[in-house]
Amino acid sequence: MPFAKTWTEELVAEWLQLNGYLVETGLPAGVTAAGGRYTADVVGAKVSGNMLEIIHVEVGQLSGGRQSVASLNNKFSQNVCVAIENYFKRKLGFVAGKVNYQKMYVASFWTKPTVNGAKQLGINVRPLPDFIQQEVFQVIQNWKRQPPHRPKTKGSIITLPESHWLLQLIDYFKSYELLR
């Protein structure tokens, strides 16, 4: 997996991995009219039964009003989504079944009008504090309750995989009540 460009992209990638997704960061997903590339910040995919589940997450600030919403339209365009879907179908050998494609934006800064505009495009906008408190804390807790291996330690003592260094830091802060 390539390195995420920002700590928020890394956080999203680790969250998806702990949720059981195959994760790609900086996934090339199209070409612009000027010859540049569209890349998806973080995308996770997994097969559940006959369903391919894809979560496409972009990360950043939603502060520019109409410009931010227009930018989201490009990031989550039909062409980009189809390219990502086809990529994971090939990679996972998924030939038959349904696809559940979710679009999410984790915003480190946002304005209410821009969030509303994004929601009209079918994008689940998560302000970063809400994402951490509702999604990240929950996946850490769930993983510790039922880790995929059989550790000798249980509960709050168990540590996350060492490759998930950002989630480990958050868990450490939370465990020692360094976070509110």
What does pTM read for this prediction?
A: 0.92
Q: Which domains are seen in the chain, by residue range? A: 7-134 (3.40.91.30)
Q: What is the pLDDT of residues 110-124, one digit of tens each?
A: 988 888 889 999 999
Rounded Cα gap, residues 14 and 8, in angstroms: 10
Contact 105, 124 (CB under 8 A): yes
Contact 54, 40 (CB under 8 A): no
Q: What is the pLDDT of residues 85-117, one digit of tens each?
A: 999 999 999 988 899 999 999 999 998 888 888
Beta-bridge mates of residue 169:
none
The alpha-carbon radius of gyration of the chain (Å, integer) is 17
pLDDT truncated to tens, each residue of the chain (180 aa)?
Answer: 457 999 999 999 999 999 999 999 999 998 888 888 889 999 999 999 999 999 999 999 988 777 888 889 889 999 999 999 999 999 999 988 899 999 999 999 998 888 888 999 999 999 999 999 999 999 999 998 888 887 777 666 788 988 999 999 999 998 888 866
